[in-house]
Chain A
Amino acid sequence: MDFLRPASWEEALAAKAAHPAAVPIAGGTDVMVEINFDHRRPEHLMDLNRIGELGEWEVGEESVRLGAAVPYTAIMEHLRGELPGLALASHTVASPQIRNRGGVGGNLGTASPAGDAHPALLAAGAEVEAGSVRGSRLIPIDAFYTGVKRNALAADELIRAVHIRKADGPQQYSKVGTRNAMVIAVCAFGLALHPASRTVRTGIGSAAPTPVRARTAEEFLNAALDEGGFWDNGRSITPSVAQRFAELCSAACNPVDDVRGTAGYRRHAVGVLARRTLAWTWESYRGTAAAEGGV
């Protein structure tokens, strides 16, 4: 095995082009488990820790450009206002030690259906900035997950940053597991209200081969909120609308039975999480809208 230690982004791209099978390692919280247990013996391991910019973020007008290796701890501490859904999701990852090392770039690299960043990114709206010696491109988050633990990156590409839309309304993230810390999701649900565009976006984790949005549920809810004038009148969402939304979120799942839970349980639980996160975010929206004299 060779240990590559690029000192800059350009060096990293050159190394990845020369050795497309090289395995990048950022926090190492996925990669090292595989190496320790002999599940992976790459010829080249490529350390990304020396590339300072990958650990930095920039808050722009519309979005946050989050360096691929910014650890979860920093997201929780510094970006709670701009990225509330992702900050909540980050807090549910593993333990302080893991959150001090692991980050969104690694979560996207692994692309596990159980990765906690994914539902939050899907709900907020995001683009993955991928680079190679050939150039760079922005991959919409909806097109990033291509299969179980597969993503849209080409062999010579690396993730440089993730551009995540700044919250313009309340966001929530909720996860079902057997305990609070150190738990891989049985299923998870992210929801973001976007009052500026009068839309709601969702993200479902651990309940399909890839992280997915519940698109039919979103369309139903967007239409129902619009028809009832809810964004303007700030009324509570009626139980029947919430119920239908939950059913459609359950229907968006394509889960498996495994040691963590059955498919039936996952479908049911996603519906419960959908209803709860909708209630939490909507009540919070009504509160702020009322405080601003909007309703």
Chain B
Amino acid sequence: MRVSLTVNGRAREADDVWEGESLLYVLRERLGLPGSKNACEQGECGSCTVRLDDVPVCSCLVAAGQAEGREVVTVEGLAALAGRRAARGAPDGPDGPDGPDGQGGQGGQGGPGGPPGEGATRLSPVQQAFVDAGAVQCGFCTPGLLVAADEMLERNPAPTDADIREALSGNLCRCTGYEKIMDAVRLAAARQGEAVRPCP
């Protein structure tokens, strides 16, 4: 079957989709967006986390056909999403990239669009915080953690440690022991707060 959906702000179509296929498979294998990772395929690890109509979900547990006509944001679209929030004056700070949606990841995948869009080299504030805090080791869990952390910070700009742990409780990491990940999210929250505060 054919599935039409919006991914990172761009209308996309996937053909020859098997009816039992997951959204994760469509994203990775049919739309050239391998950022969302396939680790467990049973909802346990969160490395496939994407936003489906804004809501964080395990894309391995969404049937492809259920995503028909809906909006998906993957890790490849986080920089553009942050840019859009910044443009709206939401907490992301003035540095947020503001390229058109989806240019980042999809251009960067060597799709037919030629050179990677500007967004491909820019990171969202949460991504930058993960780099700066050293929260990435093998990196397999990182895309899912980024999508989950980004969504939490959008909802809850000043999270407590308990809030962070709760929001990330569906994301497993085998490498870091989580402390650096906590540091990264605290850093992203602090920077977000600074960016918002100094406008009296």
Contact = CB atoms under 8 A, between A and B. Distances in A.
Nearest to A36: B41
A133 B46 CA distance: 39
A41 B62 contact: no
B46 A97 contact: yes
A31 B63 CA distance: 9
Given A47-B66, A96-B166, A101 B20 contact: no
B44 interface: yes
A101 B62 contact: yes
Contact of B169 (A3, A33, A35, A180): A180
B68 A97 contact: no
A37 B148 contact: no
A199 interface: no
A43 to B, nearest CB: 10
Interface string B19-53: 11010000000000000000001111010010000
Residue among B43, B62, B171 with the highest chain A CB neighbour number at 10 A: B43
A237 interface: no
B63 A45 contact: yes
Contacts of A97: 43, 46, 49, 56-58, 148, 170
Contacts of B167: 96
Nearest to B169: A181
Contacts of B68: 5
A182 B169 contact: yes
A185 B61 CA distance: 21
Contact of A3 (B61, B62, B63, B170): B63
A32 B46 contact: no
Given A33-B41, A36-B60, A180-B169, 11 more contacts: A1-B19, A3-B65, A28-B61, A28-B66, A29-B58, A31-B63, A41-B20, A47-B65, A98-B43, A101-B62, A181-B170
Given A29-B43, A94-B170, A182-B44, A100 B55 contact: yes
A27 B43 CA distance: 12
15 contacts: A2-B19, A28-B63, A28-B66, A32-B43, A36-B60, A37-B42, A41-B20, A45-B65, A95-B43, A97-B46, A97-B49, A97-B56, A97-B57, A97-B170, A98-B61
A176 interface: no
- Interface size on B, as a range, is 20 to 34
A26 to B, nearest CB: 9
A96 B169 contact: yes
Interface in B104-153: 148
A139 interface: no
A1 B17 CA distance: 11
Contact of B61 (A5, A29, A47, A96): A29
Given A97-B49, A180-B169, A3 B1 contact: yes
Contacts of B20: 1, 35, 41, 45
B42 A96 contact: no
A222 interface: no
Nearest to B48: A97
A27 B112 CA distance: 34
Contacts of A29: 43, 58, 61
Given A3-B1, A41-B20, A98 B63 contact: no
A97 B63 CA distance: 15
A32 B62 contact: yes
A36 B169 contact: no
A35 B166 CA distance: 28
B65 A33 contact: no
Nearest to A1: B19
A45 B19 CA distance: 8
Contacts of B42: 33, 36-37
B170 A25 contact: no
A111 B66 CA distance: 23
A58 B106 CA distance: 42
A95 B61 contact: no
Contacts of A25: 63, 66
Contacts of A49: 66
A70 B66 CA distance: 16
